[in-house]
Amino acid sequence: MIYNLGKGKDENFILAEDYFNKDNFRKYESIMCLGNGYLGLRNTNEEDYVSQVRGLYISGCFNRFHETEVTELPNCPDVIGMKIWLNEKEFDLTQFTILNYERTLNIRSGLATRIVEIKSKSQERFILKFKKFVSMDNLHLICQKVEILPLDDDVDFKLCTGIDGQVTNSSVQHFSEGDKRLFNDKIMQSCFKTTESKIDFVLNSSVKFNTEDYFSQIQMDRRKIFMNFKKKIKKGDTLIFEKFSTIHTSRDKENENLLLEDFKKKSKEELNEIIKYDFEELFLKSEDCFLKNIWNKSDIKIKSINSFDQFAVRFSIYHLHIMTPAHDSRMSIAAKGLSGEGYKGHVFWDTEIFCLPYFIYEHPEIARKLLEYRFNSLISARKKASSGGYLGAQYPWESAWIDDGEVTPVWGAADIITGKSTKIWSGFIEIHVTSDVVYAIEQYFKIARDLDFMKRYGYEIIFETALFWTSRLEYNENLDLYEINDVMGPDEYKEHVNNNAFTNQMAYYNMSLALKYFYKLKSNDEDTFKILENSINISSIAEKIEKIINKIYLQRPNKNLIIPQDDTYLNLKSIDLTPFKNQKHVGEIFKFYNLKQVNEIQVSKQADIMMMLYLLEDEFDYETIKANYDYYEPRTLHDSSLSLSTHCILAKKMNHMELAYELFHKSIKIDLGENMQSSNDGIHAASIGGIWRATILGFCGIKNIDEILEIDPRLPNEWDMIEFNLVFRGNSMNLLITKNTIAIVLYENKEVKIKIKDEIYTVNDEMKFKY
């Protein structure tokens, strides 16, 4: 088991590892990641191990190492690492006998701890306690505290720690080295600049002892500045030292207009103030922000036979916050958050479809920021559209900095047949992300009722993307229909297909929405209409849409109600997928078939048709959804972390509650399960978002229908109760759902329309329903 309950206020807030296994490091580094949306810090040990991968990522600070690579989030210089010697023996748990070991992450407060009792080969015992946190109060601050207690004899203690710029992204170096210096024997400062994007990074670090009586000396090496400390610790005495480090970049809004010298000075002075406090004081400030910003607002309480459910939902909330750059709308959520190198810090549809629902319902102000990122990166979308010969705005499959354009890498893993690298086609032909963004905007608008957002940003995106689709559609004379050919749908096993149902349907949705708003604005909001008419000529866009909207090729259910995933899928051969349905690692099928062969089998990587039926469920009847679920689910390997939560929600819809709960658990286990490699390169943001989505939008059945909040719960058998807060159209409320009751308490006494079963109620303060 990789979690424990915690006690008292920490009950169900503790993730723990109770035995040392160096083969599991990379998983724990990711799932126990620390962060605050500005920075993400992999939870590595202070000492070095071969299997350990240090990681510190600052949101939005992309760099491209070389023209043969794509831009990525650089792994920043490390401040966590500490070499500790006890009587000349370097501390490293493989070299001592471990008498006691516990490592925890408190997700309520963001505190990581490690307590070890060890025995040296010469039979001396020591207790070492390590604590660290990334401040939620000061986004630039990382704090560490170490306590060392020799139990059997005095010990010669040595420490070497500082700022280590010998860090890479799997060997790729993103920084050139700048000045490094020790100020007043106290503050180490080291500067770096990204090689291509020319972003300055300034790190400051300082170490503080609970005694004056120690030896210290500065040392420098290539890309390294560190201090050596020596001290004799008496048997029974506890040596305590604390290390405070900050990181600032020239991309930070507050430094944008500062000269490097000035922000170096400012950051040094800031740390000089910080070190007047001690670790515990700084921790309390950070913990306070965790409570205020996260738990007081959006905790979920679940009474389940399985307490893991309670923990898992909180785990998802914790990660949703530490990975999200809520401070800056020029950035968005990466597919692995800020917890690892996987997917290079790039932004996918994962943000809008899988993570955004949480923020829309819980922190609409953050949801807005994330959507503003898409507005700010319209420059990239316009670039991508025009480079393909299209009009309007086409969002890149993978996004990075707002003007980077398409950043999907081109080459991937080995093809087992040819021995060559496989070409990654997503960046060229996986085009549905553009309408996914629009879908999310409409969701946000309907739920948050943020008209200001729409006027400033939303409408422009909707029209510009619709314009893209009008130019992307291809007229087929024989059919007198507009097709979308040569694409990849969400099912990435199928390259170069024609008329992927999901892609076409979502494009249709996107264009229809533009048309709806065109007429709405024309008749109801002359000012906005005029502005958009002047800036992007929406009349001409509407005209283009109207010409073709009714001739878009949409896949229709066949006589068995099955909607073809694309023009060819239903004619492909079927094979026995059992071995792959139970796969322990992603991509198992590619150890037996290459992509060309997989392309010719009725097998899907993830929800494709099912994603369409979920997102646009009101467009399809229950029978169609069910027939397709029964057809496609057995053909889906869930070989993507995006697949399970959607299937869970659909299973609940079809009252397959055991299956739904099983899928919910499988989805949790993508990061929290027994597979010790799955999260090596970072947590799975979409899966993390999916846990919340399955819980609230799935089991609790939360859905908006225009101005009405629908609640259609069906709790798993294992659950007795779930309680959570929501914000719907500006109204904060508390919901408590049991097996057969729904209790709603409004925090602000504003009126909300609630739909339960087929009844619509108006709630003013509180109300309780049976269902």
Catalytic residues: 492
The torsion angle over the Cα atoms of residues 370, 376, 380 and 381, rounded to 10 degrees, is 70
d(CA 191, CA 204): 9
d(CA 624, CA 618): 11
d(CA 302, CA 662): 17
Least distance to a copy of itself, CB of residue 546, Å: 48
- Tell me if 426 sits within 8 A of 488, measured CB to CB: yes
Displacement of CA 319 from its chain's centroid (Å) = 7
Q: Which is nearer to a copy of itself, 217 or 741 (CB)?
A: 217
Which of 569, 386, 588 is closest to 487 using CA atoms? 569
| Angle, vertex CA 172, rays to CA 171 and CA 178, nearest 5 | 110
Q: Which is nearer to a copy of itself, 179 or 748 (CB)?
A: 179
d(CA 387, CA 405): 10
- Tell me if 575 sits within 8 A of 634, measured CB to CB: no
N-to-C CA span, the chain: 36
Using the 8-state DSSP alphabet, how is residue 352 labeled? I
Least distance to a copy of itself, CB of residue 183, Å: 6
Which of 534, 557, 361, 563 is closest to 463 using CA atoms? 534
Q: Which is nearer to a copy of itself, 103 or 223 (CB)?
A: 223
Q: Which is nearer to a copy of itself, 123 or 170 (CB)?
A: 170
Q: Which is nearer to a copy of itself, 215 or 622 (CB)?
A: 215
Which of 421, 422, 379, 396 is closest to 344 using CA atoms? 396
Least distance to a copy of itself, CB of residue 35, Å: 23
Helix (H) or strand (E) holding 220: strand 215-221
Least distance to a copy of itself, CB of residue 433, Å: 24
Least distance to a copy of itself, CB of residue 14, Å: 29
Q: Which is nearer to a copy of itself, 189 or 528 (CB)?
A: 189
Residues with Cβ within 8 Å of residue 372, at least 6 apart in sequence: 329, 453, 457
Q: Is 584 helix (H, G, I), strand (E, B) or coil?
A: coil
Q: Given the rule CB under 8 A, which residues bind a copy of itself?
A: 23, 48-50, 65-69, 90, 92, 94-95, 165-168, 170-173, 176-185, 195, 217-223, 225, 412-414, 416, 418-421, 591
Query: Could you count the other beta carbons within 10 Å of the beta carbon of residue 766?
Result: 12
Q: Which is nearer to a copy of itself, 8 or 419 (CB)?
A: 419
Least distance to a copy of itself, CB of residue 491, Å: 23
Q: Which is nearer to a copy of itself, 94 or 764 (CB)?
A: 94
Least distance to a copy of itself, CB of residue 639, Å: 17
Which of 639, 690, 681 is closest to 315 using CA atoms? 690
Which tokens hold the place of 87? 């009587």
Least distance to a copy of itself, CB of residue 28, Å: 18
| Angle, vertex CA 67, rays to CA 66 and CA 71, nearest 5 | 70
Distances 144 to 93, 240, 246, 280, 703 between C-alpha atoms, Å: 19, 11, 12, 10, 43
- Tell me if 445 sits within 8 A of 459, measured CB to CB: no
Q: Which is nearer to a copy of itself, 268 or 472 (CB)?
A: 268
Least distance to a copy of itself, CB of residue 422, Å: 9
d(CA 504, CA 481): 12
Which of 44, 151, 30 is closest to 93 using CA atoms? 44
Using the 8-state DSSP alphabet, how is residue 568 labeled? S
